[in-house]
Amino acid sequence: MTDSHTSEETKPSASEKAPADVRQKALEEELKGLVDVVGPGPLVDLLLERAFQLKATDIHLDPTDRGLLVRLRVDGLLHNVLDLPPNVTSHVISRIKLLANMDITERRLAQDGHISNAVLQHQRDIRVGSGPTIHGERLVLRLMPDNQEYVNLAELGFDDDQTRMLERCIEKPYGMILSVGPVGSGKSTTMYSCLNKLSQPTKSLVTIEDPVERRMENVNQIQVDPRIDFGFVEALRGVLRQDPDVMMVGEIRDPETAHIACRAGLTGVVVLSTLHANDTAATIDVFREFGIPPMFIADSLQGIVSQRLLRKVCKECGEEVKVDKNIKQMLQLTDEEADKCNLKKGKGCGSCFGTGYAGRTGVFEIMEMDSEIREAVLHGRSHDQMMALARTKGMETLEESARHKVIAGVTDMQEMHRVLTTFPI
């Protein structure tokens, strides 16, 4: 989805408009200066503060033979920020592990930790994962979304027709709505937006997550804990005895969770969840592989959303691109589309780390279940047959959705090709 901040982007300050290499160097000098003066504690605090300001989603601390490489993931890609010398590496790692309530003496095994927003003075929560490498201990910090920021479906990147299709799905009195795609494609954000839309005082809403990514008011949120054998299956069984109206399951990972979620969707509960599948029709194949009877699949599913995230052309340095014969052919433009299209490409500036992109938007395909598609599921139709049938019902594919975003100047052909490798370029 979009990163929630991309719907209304503020103009960068004068310092942020500096060339990307200058801006990155300034951040490196700022962090190094703190190490020399006050030590690793304030360095970690400043690193977290700057990561939030840059709207990073992850911080990677990778040990090397030269020390510790610090990288930030911004708009889906990692950027080198700082090389810390060996003499401060262990102190920085220990500082973060202490904040996350992790065992600082254990360096041989993987650990999970959590830095709460109370520690961060009302910033977002942070999930911390550690693990051994040949050069020492590695940490990855996942910066959780802002609890207060929820965006409507249009702001996530859905067009008007797709918004209406998804709203029809989630307004059904029962059944399952799935968001599918690879890791980091914004599935959870879509489901949270759907959950937020369904949140009403007259309904009982429950989430089962690993971990809980956003804190929501008027929602009973459950954190699974495999260490005490309290996983998705155990939590699902318990919640179904507690009279839920809407239930969000963080992820369907195995056949047993899939079976229970399908049964819940058949017994009067609206079930929102995510799944790893390449596209909408592939979701049906995954459920078949899970051993779900075709009748259960057809009757429980109300809609499937397949999605990807594309970086948006930077508003500060984006320039118009002339539509030539090659571009017209690659995008399969009609003469009328070629005249109206607004292709853009970012040249790179300080606001976008020199990448030419700032922020992200979603591209989607939505399979809305109706009697004909349910009949096709019952008869075991193939992936290609399911896709062809859904397209006759008005489904726009991921490639078509991305193409429209390129024509509108929201993203460019290179980004479309990077994320959707099946699209010719």
pLDDT at 5: 41
Strands 126-133 and 111-115: antiparallel
pLDDT of residue 85: 87
Give the residue range(s) of CATH 3.30.450.90 domains in the chain. Answer: 14-143
In terms of C-beta density within 10 A (0-12 exposed, 13-18 middle, 19 or more buried), how is residue 360 classed?
Answer: buried
Predicted pLDDT at 334? 81
**141 strand-pairing partners:** 59, 128
Q: What is the pLDDT of residue 283?
A: 97
What the block records as the tokens of 106 is 């254990």
Residues of the chain with CATH 3.40.50.300: 153-419
In sign, the C-alpha dihedral spanning 161, 167, 173, 176 is positive
From CA 175, how far away is CA 303, in angstroms rounded?
9
For domain 153-419, the question of CATH label 3.10.310.10 is answered with no
Residue pointed to by tokens 């599935």: 187
CATH class, range 14-143: alpha beta
Report the half-sphere exposure of 60 (CA within 13 A, side-chain side): 14
Residue ranges in the chain whose pLDDT is less than 50: 1-20, 423-425
3-state SS assignment for residue 137: strand
Global pTM value: 0.83
Please tell me the predicted confidence (pLDDT) of residue 203: 94
